[in-house]
């Protein structure tokens, strides 16, 4: 779909502007039928900027990498409409190109024939292909880059399938989104705030179980046969067999040379192998004289595993301890189990060798298998000894403080504060004696027997009128009004009542937070609570989207912002609908209680009262739970309407 031809001015020259899915073309008006002078590929456009709706001049600025092109629309009646049509066409074309690039990202990486069907690149040389691969490598290694996570639709779908709550939130928000917001725009905004979840899910999917020493994991299992005799069986999987061949090349060689001759069946080979001396050697166990011999497998006891440059990683000489030992005449021997010489504990050598094998099969994270062997410049700089450098530059930060007394608080002499000087003159013994005397019961409030009474210490009197004591003003005018806030006296009825209420409220709050029973729903049923949770999640999602657009200052997305405001208003209606449903359920429970009381009265003749305040749930519970969300909705609507009023006043003044 292409936009109609519009009249524009580019670099003070009149012309026409057309746009399709691939190019933006400007042609001059004079001479008539001139060829296009400017042709911009849509794929190269990085940004679009337009003048505000209140501006008298209608212009569109197209940014292409380091260049920019400004087109001024000259139509007297439909300049704004033409500019909007061109802008919408360009935005749709850019979104389509980005979506196509994202969908082709996965098959394009690592596909040998991907570049052969590209038309112009089909005949490129091998050197150009290698250069392109090397230049594209840093981008391919950014597995957890933000842009790659946003465009990885398979990863997003996998995350939604693994998290039911997130999937429900996404689907509900997608159903309730305004019509002015397209699906790609909503999806991009939704995942832009959940990149950490995508990154964690990508790491989780990329993890796999590493290798392990497989021989100790394979054990015999004993079952009872038909004749009642125990039978030993050995169960092995294909993965375990492949690991044995990979970790122990001698077993692979023995298998290739003995199957099918002299062992016609592989089962015979494995049964003989797990009873042979070769197995004990591979496990690092001591071979005894009484162990049964096997003429087919015993020759492999002297097998020496081949080693060469391919199996030995390059180690810089500065940290190659074994290489340093060769360059010295005398050196300290290592620990017993780390010595290269043979000893009577082969299991120690075996464990070290197995650890080396397992680590050698793990691809390094910070190295390239095809990189040149040797120390690079960065490693050399890290290993260089710098503590004895004679001309090392001083990289300390020098602070020039002009007024040190202002920041240190010193006045040029070592003086103490007035309180410190006063305390220094006092006698510690006299101070301690005075404190002990003050805390004696006779001074705090004791009875005739000298027993300390807490009510006298606090000044509590059960016969006092708390209202008269607490409401007495501390000071006032001639008309009796107080000018100061009256403080509650410690020990009064009001103070004790307030303390009790505060403690009970804290206990109730902690109980509600820690409770997992039905009372934690504030009297709401599970279905109503789930509906309220989904409504709250979608409302929060739209609030995030609203503030992102509102604070961006992009005037081209005004219609989208207007649709979001109407969606926020409908969110209030959805919350009220949930409240009405909760109130309906509460009234049904009350009606059942009234019927039970009526039946009880008919049976016994005794009346019972229904405490409706004890029945939780209803609209009041819903309003209490979503009170912060409702406040956020009202604040967002008020902020939008205030900004709209300011803009309308500016337009009226400018008009």
Kindly state the average pLDDT of the residues 146-165.
87
Instruction: Please tell me the least confidently modeled range out of 14-23, 113-122, 431-440, 479-488.
Output: 113-122
Asked if residue 523 belongs to a domain, the reply is yes
- pLDDT tops 80 at residue 129: no
The residues facing 17 across adjacent strands are 6, 26
What pLDDT sits at residue 137?
43
Question: At 413, is the pLDDT very low, low, confident or very high (cuts 50, 70, 90)?
Answer: very low
Number of C-beta neighbours around residue 543 at 10 A: 18
Per residue in 67-95, pLDDT tens? 788 888 888 788 888 888 888 888 888 88
How confident is the model at residue 557, as a pLDDT? 79
Residue 533: is its pLDDT beyond 60? yes
The overall average pLDDT reported for the chain is 75
CATH classification at residue 43: 2.30.29.30
DSSP bridge partners of 67: 64
Last residue of a domain, one of 253, 272, 302: 302
Give the pair of three-digit tokens for residue 141.
């290694």
**Band (131; pLDDT cuts 50, 70, 90):** very low
Average pLDDT for 559-567: 85
Whether 97 and 225 map to the same domain: the answer is no
Residue 453 has pLDDT above 90, yes or no: no
> Does the pLDDT value for residue 477 go beyond 60?
no
Q: Do 220 and 96 reside in the same domain of the chain?
A: no
pLDDT attached to residue 629: 92
The whole-number pLDDT of residue 610 equals 82
User: In this predicted structure, which of 347-356, 373-382, 519-528, 557-566 has the lowest mean pLDDT?
Assistant: 373-382
Distance CA 542, CA 632 (A): 11
In the listed set 302, 336, 353, which residue is the last one of a domain according to the structure?
A: 302
Which of 462, 459, 437, 457 minimizes the C-alpha distance to 446? 457
Element (H, E) at 435: helix 428-438
Mean pLDDT of 638-652: 86
Q: What pLDDT score does 141 carry?
A: 44
| pLDDT for the residue 628 | 92
Number of structural domains found in the chain: 4
Residues 539 and 606 in one domain: yes
Distances (CA, A) of 325 to 188, 317, 329, 330: 60, 11, 8, 8
Contact criterion met (CB below 8 Å) for 549 and 186: no
Distance CA 412, CA 382 (A): 47
Instruction: Tell me the pLDDT band of 633, cut-offs 50, 70 and 90.
Output: very high
Does one domain contain both 528 and 646?
yes
User: Would you state the pLDDT for residue 135?
Assistant: 45
Q: b or e along 200-233 (b: 16 or more beta carbons within 10 Å of the residue's beta carbon)?
A: ebbeeeeeeeeeebbbeebeeeeeeeeeeeeeee
The confidence score (pLDDT) of residue 260 equals: 82
Q: Does residue 558 sit in the same domain as residue 442?
A: no
Higher pLDDT, 101 or 522: 522
- Are 636 and 543 contacting, i.e. CB atoms less than 8 angstroms apart? yes
The encoded tokens of residue 291 equal: 């162990």
Domain assignment of residue 13, yes or no: yes
Query: Residue 219: its pLDDT value, please?
Result: 81
User: Containing H/E element for 447?
Assistant: none
Half-sphere exposure in the Cβ direction for 345 (13 Å, CA): 8
Task: Report if residue 620 sits inside a domain.
Answer: yes
Region of poorest pLDDT, from 146-150, 166-170, 356-360, 651-655: 651-655
Across the beta sheet with 67-73, the strand order is 38-41, 23-28, 13-19, 3-10, 67-73, 59-64, 47-50
Q: Which residues make beta-bridge pairs with 14?
A: 9
Residues 592-602, mean pLDDT to the nearest whole number: 88
Task: Find out whether 204 and 192 touch, Cβ atoms under 8 Å.
Answer: no
Among 148-157, 259-268, 575-584, the range of highest mean pLDDT: 575-584
Contact present, 608 and 600 (Cβ < 8 Å): yes
Retrieve residue 449's tokens.
């027997």
For residue 127, the model assigns a pLDDT of: 43
Spatial separation of the C-alpha atoms in residues 38 and 19, rounded to whole Å: 12
Task: Compute the distance between CA of residue 62 and CA of residue 584 in angstroms, rounded to an integer.
Answer: 57
Task: Tell me: pLDDT of 157 over 60.
Answer: yes
- CB 263: neighbour CB atoms within 10 A? 19
**Hey, what long-range contacts does 517-525 have (CB within 8 A, 24 or more apart)?**
519/616, 521/617, 522/616, 522/617, 522/621, 522/624, 522/625, 523/586, 523/615, 523/616, 523/617, 523/618, 523/621, 524/582, 524/585, 524/616, 524/617, 524/621, 524/622, 525/582, 525/585, 525/617
522 and 454 assigned to the same domain: no
CB 195 within 8 A of CB 188: no
**Band of the pLDDT at 107, cuts 50, 70, 90?**
very low
- Interstrand relation of 59-64 and 38-41 (parallel, antiparallel or unpaired): unpaired
Beta bridge partners of 7: 16
Q: pLDDT band for 370, please (50, 70, 90 cuts).
A: low
pLDDT of residue 282: 86
In the block, tokens 């296009």 appear at 36
Judged by DSSP in three states, 98 sits in: helix
Give a yes or no: residue 110 inside a domain: no
Virtual torsion, Cα 352, 355, 356, 361, nearest 10 deg? 160
The secondary structure element, H or E, covering residue 124 is none
**Alpha helices (H) along 141-223:** 146-151, 153-162, 164-176, 183-192, 195-206
Nearest residue to 151 (alpha-carbon basis) of 102, 187, 196, 109: 102
Segment 431-440 shows an average pLDDT of 83
Cα end-to-end distance, the chain, whole Å: 35
Asked if residue 622 and residue 538 are part of one domain, the reply reads yes
Q: Are residues 641 and 522 in the same domain?
A: yes
Are 39 and 23 in contact, with CB atoms under 8 Å apart?
A: yes
Q: Above pLDDT 70, what percent of the chain?
A: 69
Question: Range of 627's domain?
Answer: 518-654
Q: Is residue 202 part of a domain?
A: no
pLDDT above 80 (res 18): yes
Share of the chain above pLDDT 90, in %: 3
594 within domain boundaries = yes
Q: Are 551 and 529 in contact (CB under 8 A)?
A: no
The model's pLDDT over 281-322, given as tens digits with 9 standing for 90+, comes to 888 888 888 888 888 888 888 887 765 444 455 555 666 566
Mean pLDDT of 398-418: 60
DSSP H or E stretch at residue 395: none
Structural domain contains residue 421:
no
pLDDT for res 321: 60
- HEC string of 72-95 equals EECCCCCHHHHHHHHHHHHHHHHH
Across 583-587, average pLDDT: 90
Model confidence pLDDT, tens digit, residues 31-60? 665 556 788 888 888 888 888 777 778 888
444 and 525, same domain (yes or no): no
Tell me: do 524 and 626 sit in the same domain. yes
What is the enclosing helix (H) or strand (E) of 244? helix 238-247
Please indicate whether residue 214 or residue 380 has the higher confidence score (pLDDT).
214
Which of 57, 82, 103 terminates a domain? The answer is: 103
Query: Which carries the bigger pLDDT value, residue 488 or residue 534?
Result: 534
What integer pLDDT is reported at residue 106 of this predicted model? 39
* Residues 642, 525 share a domain: yes
**Do 439 and 548 belong together in one domain?**
no
Whether residue 209 is contained in a domain is answered as no
């Amino acid at each position: 779909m292409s936009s109609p031809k519009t009249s524009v001015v580019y670099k003070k020259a009149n012309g026409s502007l057309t746009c399709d899915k691939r190019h933006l073309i400007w042609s001059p008006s004079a001479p008539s039928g001139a060829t296009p002078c400017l042709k911009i590929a849509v794929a190269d456009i990085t940004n679009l900027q337009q003048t505000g709706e209140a501006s008298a001049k209608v212009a569109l600025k197209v940014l292409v990498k380091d260049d920019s092109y400004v087109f001024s629309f000259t139509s007297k009646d439909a300049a704004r409409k033409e500019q909007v049509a061109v802008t919408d066409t360009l935005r749709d074309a850019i979104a389509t190109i980005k979506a196509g690039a994202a969908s082709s990202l996965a098959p394009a990486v690592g596909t040998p024939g991907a570049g052969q069907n590209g038309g112009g690149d089909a005949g490129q040389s091998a050197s150009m292909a290698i250069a392109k691969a090397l230049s594209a490598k840093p981008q391919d290694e950014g597995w957890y880059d933000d842009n790659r996570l946003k465009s990885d639709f398979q990863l997003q779908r996998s995350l939604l399938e693994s998290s039911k709550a997130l999937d429900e939130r996404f689907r509900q928000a997608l159903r309730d989104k305004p019509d002015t917001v397209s699906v790609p725009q909503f999806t991009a905004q939704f995942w832009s705030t959940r990149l950490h979840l995508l990154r964690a899910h990508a790491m989780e999917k990329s993890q796999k179980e590493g290798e392990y020493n497989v021989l100790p994991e394979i054990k015999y299992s004993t079952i009872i046969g038909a004749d009642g005799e125990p039978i030993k069986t050995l169960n092995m999987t294909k993965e375990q067999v492949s690991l044995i061949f990979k970790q122990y090349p001698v077993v692979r060689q023995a298998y290739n040379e003995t199957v099918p001759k002299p062992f016609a069946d592989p089962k015979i080979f494995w049964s003989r192998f797990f009873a042979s001396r070769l197995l004990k050697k591979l496990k690092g166990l001591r071979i005894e004289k009484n162990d049964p011999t096997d003429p087919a497998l015993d020759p492999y006891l002297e097998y020496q595993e081949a080693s060469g440059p391919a199996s030995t990683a390059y180690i810089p000489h500065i940290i190659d301890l074994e290489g340093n030992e060769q360059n010295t005449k005398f050196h300290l021997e290592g620990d017993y189990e780390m010595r290269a010489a043979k000893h009577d504990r082969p299991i120690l050598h075996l464990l070290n060798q197995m650890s080396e094998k397992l680590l050698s099969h793990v691809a390094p994270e910070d190295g390239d298998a095809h990189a040149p062997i040797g120390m690079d410049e960065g490693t050399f700089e890290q290993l260089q000894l710098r503590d004895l450098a004679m001309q090392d530059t001083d990289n300390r930060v020098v602070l020039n403080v002009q007024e040190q007394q202002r920041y240190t608080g010193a006045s040029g002499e070592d003086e103490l504060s007035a309180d410190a000087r006063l305390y220094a003159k006092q006698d510690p013994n006299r101070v301690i004696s005075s404190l002990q005397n003050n805390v004696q019961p006779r001074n705090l409030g004791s009875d005739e027997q000298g027993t300390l009474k807490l009510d006298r210490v606090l000044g509590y009197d059960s016969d006092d009128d708390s209202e008269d004591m607490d409401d007495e003003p501390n000071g006032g005018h001639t008309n009796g009004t107080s000018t100061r806030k009256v403080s509650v006296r410690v020990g009064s009825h009001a103070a004790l009542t307030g303390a009790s209420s505060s403690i009970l409220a804290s206990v109730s709050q902690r109980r509600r937070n820690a409770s997992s029973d039905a009372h934690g729903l504030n009297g709401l049923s599970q279905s109503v609570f789930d509906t309220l949770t989904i409504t709250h999640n979608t409302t929060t999602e739209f609030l995030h989207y609203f503030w992102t657009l509102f604070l961006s200052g992009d005037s081209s997305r005004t219609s989208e912002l207007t649709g979001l405001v109407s969606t926020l208003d409908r969110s209030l209606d959805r919350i009220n609908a949930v409240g009405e449903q909760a109130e309906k359920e509460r009234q049904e429970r009350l009606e059942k209680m009234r019927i039970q009381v009526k039946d009880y009265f008919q049976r016994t003749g005794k009346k019972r009262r229904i405490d409706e305040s004890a029945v939780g749930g209803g609209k009041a519970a819903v309003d209490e739970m979503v009170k912060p969300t409702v406040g956020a909705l009202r604040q967002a609507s008020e902020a939008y309407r205030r900004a709209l009023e300011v803009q309308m006043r500016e337009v009226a003044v400018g008009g």
